[in-house]
Amino acid sequence: MNYGPLLFFGIFLTIASSWCGLVLIPQLQFGGQQAVKLESGEQYPPVRPGGAQRGEAVYRANGCIYCHSQQVRAAEFGADIKRNWGTRRTVALDYIRDKPVMLGTMRTGPDLSNIGVRNPSRSWQLTHLFNPQSTSAGSVMPPFGFLFETRKAGQRPAPDALQLPAPFNPPPGFEVVPTQAANDLVDYLLSLKANVPLPEAK
């Protein structure tokens, strides 16, 4: 094969075809999807409040996606629903407000599509983030101590100081308080709810 232009043509054609197929057609098919109005009158998916939006950036910056997926597979495919990770499979509509969409490809840790439904306790989430061993012994999740501040306790403990169990608690006279970033991240986690029934998620 000696004819350069033929080669160029073939090379161009093959990538053009897959670009049309895997990029352009999905964009035309569901790239323009809009939020819907539920029977209750609310919008779905709801706009994330400011704290949760900042928390999404914390989640992204610290690479949570490398261990946690955000997708629930259908009941007949995998054990996602049996594991109580969701009541229905997730669909394209669930993600239209995500920046970026962090579906994830790995489940070193559990799926987080519905973590806001499954474990809505703010103090549990904060304690777990500060040191996962304190709530889930044997976990391989890294501690996120850098999102917290260990400081000298005042006369009265701060209202948001963590209640840590024995070996994880700070030295006497000190307390652990979450920073803005930790609170934002928990806001984001608690906003993760894909449990609204949708007709397409049957």
Where in 143-162 is the site for another protein (CB under 8 A)?
143-146
Binding range to another protein, per CB under 8 A, among 63-71, 117-125, 168-176, 185-193: 63-71
180 near another protein, rule: CB under 8 A: no
Binding range to another protein, per CB under 8 A, among 29-37, 119-127, 151-159, 164-172: 29-37
Q: In terms of CB distance, is 115 or 159 closer to another protein?
A: 115
47 near another protein, rule: CB under 8 A: no
DSSP collapsed to 3 states, the chain: CCCHHHHHHHHHHHHHHHHHHHHHHHHHHHCCCCCEECCCCCEECCCCCHHHHHHHHHHHHCCHHHCCCCCCCCCCCCCCCCCCCCCCCCCHHHHCCCCCCCCCCCCCCCCCCCHHHHCCCHHHHHHHHHCHHHCCCCCCCCCCHHHEEEEECCCCCCCCCCCCCHHHCCCCCEEEEECHHHHHHHHHHHCCCCCCCCHHHC
Shortest reach from residue 155's CB to another protein, in Å: 28
Q: Site for another protein (CB under 8 A): which residue of 39, 82, 155, 166?
A: 82
